[in-house]
């Protein structure tokens, strides 16, 4: 509940940021591009934060619609099954295991896969 309030407060603060520029056509053009970039960034950030906070009433598919556009798919093996997932699903799997009280072995497997994923991500960065 506290996380949700913090996220909402952060979104309100970000939406309140304004740019002011009235110098010349070039400055107005740059300002227009910055406003467009700000809008895209705000939409992406809002989608990401809403996904992370998992609001009720919003289907998993609609939450993924914007987020998945920004993430490149990764190939993962979990419980002897291969599936196409993205980075958020990789990070989310161990948490879902903990929440659903799966066996310690299954949680260990998810944590091992998460560690491999993090190492792979560090190599790519």
Predicted TM-score (pTM) of the model is 0.30
The span from the CA of 114 to the CA of 125, in Å, is 16
In a domain, 116, yes or no: yes
In a domain, 85, yes or no: yes
Instruction: Summarize pLDDT for 45-54 with one digit per residue, the tens.
Output: 887 777 777 6
Identify which has the larger pLDDT, 32 or 99.
Answer: 32
Same domain, 82 and 119: yes
In a domain, 63, yes or no: no
Same domain, 6 and 54: yes
Domain residues for the domain of 104 are 71-124
Same domain, 120 and 77: yes
DSSP classification of residue 71: S
Same domain, 41 and 75: no
Instruction: Summarize pLDDT for 86-120 with one digit per residue, the tens.
Output: 666 776 666 666 666 656 667 777 778 888 888 88
Identify which has the larger pLDDT, 35 or 107.
Answer: 35
In a domain, 105, yes or no: yes
Q: How many domains is the chain built from? A: 2
pLDDT at 67 over 60: no
Instruction: Summarize pLDDT for 4-21 with one digit per residue, the tens.
Output: 788 778 777 776 665 544
In a domain, 65, yes or no: no
In a domain, 37, yes or no: yes
Buried-exposed string 59-98: b where 16+ CB fall within 10 A, e elsewhere: eeeebbeebeeeeeeeebebeeeeeebbbbbbebbbeebe
């Amino acid at each position: 509940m506290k996380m949700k309030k913090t996220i909402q407060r952060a979104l309100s603060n970000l939406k309140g940021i304004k740019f002011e520029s009235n110098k010349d056509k070039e400055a107005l053009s740059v300002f227009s591009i910055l406003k467009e970039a700000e809008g895209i960034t705000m939409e992406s950030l809002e989608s990401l934060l809403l996904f992370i906070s998992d609001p009720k009433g919003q289907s998993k598919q609609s939450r993924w619609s914007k987020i998945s556009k920004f993430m490149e798919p990764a190939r993962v093996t979990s419980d002897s099954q291969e599936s196409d997932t993205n980075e958020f699903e990789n990070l989310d799997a161990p948490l879902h295991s903990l929440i659903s009280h799966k066996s310690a072995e299954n949680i260990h497997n998810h944590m091992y896969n998460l560690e491999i994923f993090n190492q792979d991500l560090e190599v790519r960065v």
